[in-house]
């Protein structure tokens, strides 16, 4: 029983931990990667059941150290995917977020990089805008009193500080484009920042869009907020 529990819990953690890197490096397609995650949850649940049987009925013959390690593996294998599912249910199933819903910033240099992406470069549309308004009402255009050149430099520096790949920085157009690659699955999400002068003020709009997936699990909204926070710190 001890060996069986160890094997199942170890298998469970592998099925949950490995799909991300395997997809990231092109070894596994996205569909099979998510299937492996699902099986990892099932294996984790099985391991937890066996651990409980051990603790309740075979207490005299078990190694508590082995049980502890197996339980940690099993709980992580079950808890991590379930937390992702819970996050998905708490946010709208959208993947294109913009602070300007009427005239979203357009991707220029990044557009060719998204040519083969499942999610097209064009803005997702009115239904997405409606869902964004309800879920993220705080995401709006930001107005700065500093000149546009200063805001542009602060934004470019912020993108570098966040570790994103800077694709385009055109000061004459007031456009900065970048790509953020997620750590686990290596999903590429693209960002475009539009900086314009309006009288004595500078208006900044940011759009962040995933290349794949229907729902971004709230990541694009978080990314926009993170960028604004870093820009503010730089200013």
pLDDT recorded at residue 1: 78
User: Do residues 23 and 185 make contact, with C-beta atoms less than 8 angstroms apart?
Assistant: yes
Among 179, 172, 204, smallest CA distance to 105 is for 204
| pLDDT, tens digit (0-9, with 9 covering 90-100), for 123-152 | 999 999 999 999 999 999 999 999 999 999
pLDDT score of 183: 93
pTM of this prediction exceeds 0.85: yes
**What is the reported pLDDT for 141?**
98
pLDDT in tens, 111-130: 999 999 999 999 999 999 99
Give the pLDDT confidence of 156-184 residue by residue, as tens digits.
999 999 999 999 999 999 999 999 999 99
User: How buried is residue 92: exposed, middle or buried, by Cβ count under 10 Å (0-12/13-18/19+)?
Assistant: buried
Q: Which residues pair with 204 in a beta bridge?
A: 142, 195
Count of C-beta atoms within a 10 Å radius of residue 138: 10
Q: How far apart are CA 154 and CA 171, in angstroms?
A: 12
pLDDT of residue 61: 80
Q: Are 60 and 66 in contact (CB under 8 A)?
A: no
The percentage of the chain sitting over the pLDDT mark of 70, rounded to a whole number, equals 100
Mean pLDDT rounded to a whole number for the chain: 96
- Residue 200 carries which DSSP code? T
Distances (CA, A) of 23 to 13, 137, 183, 212: 16, 33, 12, 13
Structural domains present in the chain = 2-90 (no CATH), 96-234 (3.30.530.50)
Give 63's pLDDT tier (boundaries 50, 70, 90): confident
Strand ranges for the chain from DSSP E: 96-98, 142-144, 165-170, 175-181, 188-198, 201-210
Mean pLDDT of 82-91: 94
């Amino acid at each position: 029983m001890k060996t069986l529990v160890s094997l199942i819990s170890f298998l469970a953690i592998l099925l949950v931990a490995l799909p991300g890197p395997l997809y990231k490096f092109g070894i596994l397609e996205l569909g099979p990667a998510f299937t492996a995650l699902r099986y990892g949850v099932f294996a984790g649940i099985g391991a937890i059941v066996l651990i409980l049987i051990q603790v309740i009925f075979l207490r005299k013959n078990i190694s508590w150290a082995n049980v502890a390690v197996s339980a940690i593996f099993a709980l992580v294998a079950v808890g991590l995917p379930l937390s992702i599912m819970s996050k998905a249910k708490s946010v709208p199933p959208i993947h294109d977020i913009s602070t300007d819903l009427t005239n979203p910033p357009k991707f220029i240099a990044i557009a060719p990089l998204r040519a083969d992406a499942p999610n097209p470069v064009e803005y997702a549309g009115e239904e997405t805008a409606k869902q964004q308004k309800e879920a993220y009402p705080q995401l709006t255009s930001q107005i700065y009193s500093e000149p546009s050149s200063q805001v542009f430099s602060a934004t470019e520096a912020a993108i570098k500080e966040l570790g994103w790949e800077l694709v385009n920085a055109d000061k004459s157009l007031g456009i900065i484009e970048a790509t953020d690659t997620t750590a686990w699955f290596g999903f590429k999400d693209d960002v475009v920042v539009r900086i314009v002068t309006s009288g004595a003020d500078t208006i900044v709009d940011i759009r962040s869009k995933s290349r794949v997936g229907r729902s971004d699990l709230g990541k694009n909204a978080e990314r926009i907020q993170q960028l604004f926070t870093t820009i503010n710190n730089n200013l």
